[in-house]
Amino acid sequence: MRDKLYTGDALTAAQLNRIVDAVVDRLTAGNGAYITRAGGRATLSARSVAPFTGSAGLAIEAVTALPPIPTDGPKIVWWLDSSRGGSGDNQLWAACPGQSEWTPLQNWTWLSGEPSS
C-alpha cells in the first residue's frame, strides 16, 4: 500500500483508516485533560478538579426570562419553557460578568441568550 494518494486514486477503507489513525496519533491533551484511545476511538476527557470550598454551594434559580448579565460573579439559571410559564427551553444557562449573552449549558438551542429588559 502506497503512503501517498494521487488525484483519481481510489480511496480504500484501509487507507482511510490509516489517515484517521495518523490524526488521532497526533492529538495531544492540554492541561487538565487526557485522551483515552480504545477500539479505534479517541475520547477527550477533563481531569477532575478539587471542589471549591469557599462557597456555601451553587444555587440554580428557575427563571421565566433571562435576567441581566451578572456583575458580581458567574451565575447559572434554569430557563423555564412555556409549559412552566416561561419563554425559555427548559435547560440550564450560564453567564459571567463581561459577557454580552447567556450561554446554554446542555444542548443546542434555537433561542438567543440576550437578557430580557
Distance CA 91, CA 103 (A): 11
Distance CA 78, CA 105 (A): 10
Predicted local distance difference test score (pLDDT) of residue 50: 54
Question: CA neighbours within 13 Å on the CB side: how many for 102?
Answer: 29
Q: pLDDT tens string for the chain (117 positions)?
A: 566 778 888 888 887 777 777 777 777 777 767 777 776 677 777 665 555 555 556 778 899 999 999 998 889 999 998 888 989 988 999 999 999 999 988 777 777 777 766
Predicted local distance difference test score (pLDDT) of residue 57: 63
Neighbours of 106 (CB within 10 A): 10
First CA to last CA across the chain, in angstroms? 64
**Residue 32, by phi and psi: left (phi above 0), alpha (psi -120 to 50) or beta?**
left
- What are the sequence ranges of the domains in the chain? 13-46, 55-117
Asked if residue 58 lies in contact with residue 66, where contact means CB atoms within 8 angstroms, the answer is no
Asked if residue 83 lies in contact with residue 66, where contact means CB atoms within 8 angstroms, the answer is no
pTM of the model: 0.47
Write phi, then psi, for 24 (nearest 5 degrees). Answer: -65, -35
Q: How many residues does the chain have?
A: 117
* E strand or H helix that includes residue 18: helix 13-25
